[in-house]
Amino acid sequence: MSVTRVEKNPESLSVTVTADLDATVERAWQLWADPRQFEQWWGPPGYRATVVDHDLRAGGRITFFMAGSEGERHDSTWEVIAADPPHHLELRDADVDGDGRPNDGNAITAMIITIGERGGGGAVMAISTHFDSQAGMEEHLAMGFEEGIRIVFSQIETVLAGAPA
């Protein structure tokens, strides 16, 4: 498994990271569909994810939190905009203020995940993250967003290999 491409698009306020996975498309989908697997790879090392609600169908919600070793906690709620197993998933940050901006200050408004067949075997997964503004995108990139997504994909590799995360 390896990250094969990182595309930063200031016009669409998005960053898309694409990786080859040593798994079938159906197996790659389970990384999102099974909350216990999701908990093993989502987020930075040292911040364990815990899924509270997981309804992976259009109109559903995924609610989870990440807890750090010092007791800090970061809650997230995503609205499932579209789900077409095992190939396509669209999520929107559902925790927003009255102006439609994310309450948690993360400036991320949506993610689009696509999973397809890779020539020669395996799957290719792309995670396209959309931001609410150019400033929000630039801030996330400066804080190490790209490196963080690369870490997420390395954690996916561990889950696919069947090793505990």
Report pLDDT digits (tens) over 122-163: 999 999 999 988 988 998 899 898 898 889 889 999 999 885
* Amino acid identity for residue 5 in this structure: R
Per the CB < 8 A criterion, the answer to whether 108 and 130 are in contact is yes
Q: How much of the chain, in percent, has pLDDT values that exceed 90?
A: 56
* pTM of the full structure: 0.88
The CATH number corresponding to 2-44+81-160 among 3.40.50.300, 3.40.30.10, 3.30.420.10, 3.30.530.20 equals: 3.30.530.20
CA distance 158 to 44: 14
CA distance 150 to 138: 17
Map out the domains of the chain as residue ranges: 2-44+81-160
Per the CB < 8 A criterion, the answer to whether 59 and 70 are in contact is no
Per the CB < 8 A criterion, the answer to whether 78 and 72 are in contact is no
pLDDT at 99: 59
Report pLDDT digits (tens) over 78-101: 999 999 999 999 999 865 555 555
- Which region among 12-21, 28-37, 39-48, 49-58 has the lowest average model confidence (pLDDT)? 39-48
